[in-house]
Structure 1
Amino acid sequence: MRRLGRGAAILAVTLTVTLLAAGWLTARPGDPGLYPPAPGEAAVTVRLVAGAWHSGLLLPRDALAAAAAEAGDGALLEVTERFRASPALEIGWGDAGFYRAVPTFQALDWRLALKALFTPGGRSAVLHVVGVAVEPGDVVPGAGIVPLRLSQAGFRRLAAALGRAFTRRDGHPVEAGPGLYGPSLFYEAEGRFSLLAVCNHWNAGLLNAAGLPVTPLLDTLPQGLVLDLAWRAGAHAP
């Protein structure tokens, strides 16, 4: 029994050290020239919306449209025009099959989840865009909302990365059916969904493009991403 206890302790320490090392080795630095905004500099506030298993970004539509127009990104501009009646857009990325079939945590199907996470080579992805005209906390009841003040240059970098995520056909974004709630649509997306590339990693990638430091291993789960932003970027939910 004593040997078994010692072996379990060694295994636990080894796993802990391995995870810490993996987290450190995969951590991405931020860009202090982009984030945080300089004192007195105009900023754009975006919000991370973190639910039980999924997260998305809530972006001001007018600022996103302006960034798309400035960059000449016709596809992204077309998306913002599609939702021009809404002051904000909630945008998420995920597995094409699972995202459509599991709108809430209560509807979670573990068979679909495991298939999405462990299919060799990953699975096709979609973007979910929702026009939001309510308070951020009402977008996903019970979700955690983390406001993030980005520099204007950082927001333009985020918008550029977001634009590249839309699959294009003849220069236009490709609609993939009605969304899950409110005025919303699915769009075909670039990238392959897998255990190493989930929605929370995708959000972290956009925020990293905006200059925030992120830790992909920690960001696998929504609450891990929230903790990462608090730890490395100084961002906290109100």
Structure 2
Amino acid sequence: MRRGPRIARRAAALALSLLLVPAALLALAAWLTARPGDPDLYPPAAGDEAVVVRLVARTWHSGLLLPRDDLARAAGEIGAGALLAVTERFHAYPALEIGWGDAGVYRGVPTIQALDWRLALRALFTPGGRPAVLHVVGVAAEPGAAFQDAEVVPLRLSRASFRRLAAALGRSLTVRDGHPVEAGPGLYGPSLFYEAEGRFTLLTVCNHWSAGLLNAAGLPVTPLLDTLPRGLALDLAWRAAPAR
């Protein structure tokens, strides 16, 4: 009579271990791959002039919303001519939403409902990765009104921190004869695609790109958590104290 409860307890213990071991391995992997921030860059010191940037996190994709005038100023200060040309192309808009992703999927999928999963899986698992593009959108509305379908995380950067972000963004642009290379009309609003550096793979998705720019600006990030937009938003909330 006692054998039944004993077997049930063992089964429950086995089931619990099967859950806890993968969770522990994931936590260890996240800790081992975490990238530290740079306290000389972030957060800005009291009294420093600050620039507010915003992570825009949708269901499967994230990008950064950057103030255009500040981005143009930073591009000029660091000599990023191609990035400066992008800001001039969108001179009529106070902010730019910029994202990075697989050239084929990004340009061919205007909404998540239109996603071809076979194409998405091919993008993730192609050996050596696939070509990438940048998507740049001119934004005139307030972030709350422009991105009602997304989670928006504001972050205050110092001028030095923002210049580092701008430099990393400038390196993401493919430059030909000193100019950015346009790759066709964008998905929504006043937008364009640009050819981009880097290869899209399972280990380098759009959210890793967003996190990489923020890490260049001095913020701590955790690539394993940052694979999905919600994970990146939570990572910033836990480790980077977003602006209120």
**Superposition TM-score, scaled by structure 2 size:** 0.93
Residue 28 of structure 2, aligned match among 12, 21, 25: 21
Counterpart residue number, 1:164? 171
Name the CA distance, whole Å, in 2 between partners of 1:141 and 1:126: 24
CA deviation map 1:106-165 (0-9, x unaligned): 222221221111111111100000011111123333101111000110000000000000
Identify the match of residue 179 of structure 1 among 186, 200, 206.
186
Give runs of aligned pairs for residues 61-80 of structure 1, distance below 5 A.
Answer: 61-80=68-87
Q: Rg bigger for which structure?
A: 2
1:151 to 155, 158, 176: 158
Cα distance in structure 1, aligned partners of 2:58 and 2:156? 21
Residue 138 (structure 2) pairs with residue 119 (structure 1) = no
Task: Look up the SS of the partner of 2:156 in the other structure.
Answer: strand
Aligned pair partner of 2:60 in 53, 57, 80: 53
How many residues align? The count is 237
Counterpart in the other structure of 1:215: 222
Q: Quote the offset at 1:12 in angstroms.
A: 1.9
| Distance across 1 between alignment mates of 2:242 and 2:109 | 29
Q: CA deviation at 1:5?
A: 4.9
2:234 is the counterpart of 1:227: yes
CA distance in 2, matches of 1:170, 1:4: 66
Question: Which ranges of structure 2 fall in alignment gaps of 5 or more residues?
Answer: 1-6
Aligned counterparts of 2:172 and 2:78: Cα–Cα separation in 1: 15
Gaps in structure 1 of 5+ consecutive residues: none
Q: Helix, strand or coil: the match of 2:133?
A: strand
For the aligned residue pairs, the C-alpha RMSD in angstroms reads: 1.4
Alpha-carbon deviation of 1:4?
5.7
Q: Quote the sequence identity (%).
A: 75
Residue aligning to 2:146: 139
2:92 to 85, 94, 99: 85
1:43 matched residue in structure 2: 50
Q: In the TM superposition, what whole-angstrom CA distance separates every residue of 1:71-125 from its partner, at most 9, and x where no partner exists?
A: 1111111111000111110000000011111122222222122111111111110
- SS of residue in 2 equivalent to 1:131: strand
Q: Which amino acid aligns with 1:160?
A: A
Q: TM-score, normalised by structure 1?
A: 0.95
Q: Tell me: CA distance 1:105–1:140, structure 2 relative to 1, closer, same or farther (3 Å).
A: farther
Aligned partners of 1:11, 1:79: CA distance in 2, in Å?
51
